[in-house]
Amino acid sequence: MHVEFLAVPRRLAGISQVEVQAETLGQLLTTLAVQFPSLGEFITLDRLHPSFTANLNGEQFVSDPRTVLGEDDHVLILSADAGG
């Protein structure tokens, strides 16, 4: 799936986007924590720190690590206060 980083998560990851394979949001976040240790400091027990949020396909904000993801999904990781 396609993962895009905005604002602070982009600075922490050091890139704007990446392709990742994961079946759930929790697996995705765990993978990102390993791949990007600076961002991983804000991921605990397969959940994002409250200052960050995840958006699935531009349709809904998701936080439950059991959220099922598909290979064609687009996940946006951004600061919780970005744009608002």
Which domains occur in the chain, in start order? 2-79 (3.10.20.30)
Residue 69 is predicted with a pLDDT of 98
Better-predicted residue by pLDDT, 19 or 83 = 19
- The tens digit of pLDDT for each residue in 21-47 reads 999 999 999 999 999 999 999 999 899
Q: Which pTM value belongs to this model?
A: 0.92
Q: Render pLDDT for 58-74 as a digit per residue (tens, 0 to 9).
A: 999 999 999 999 999 99
* Cα distances (Å, whole numbers) of residue 6 to 3, 42, 68: 10, 15, 22
Residues 6+ apart with CB under 8 A from 46: 25, 26, 27, 29, 30, 65
Q: Phi-psi category of 50—alpha, beta or left, where left has phi over 0 and alpha has psi -120 to 50? A: alpha
DSSP 27: H
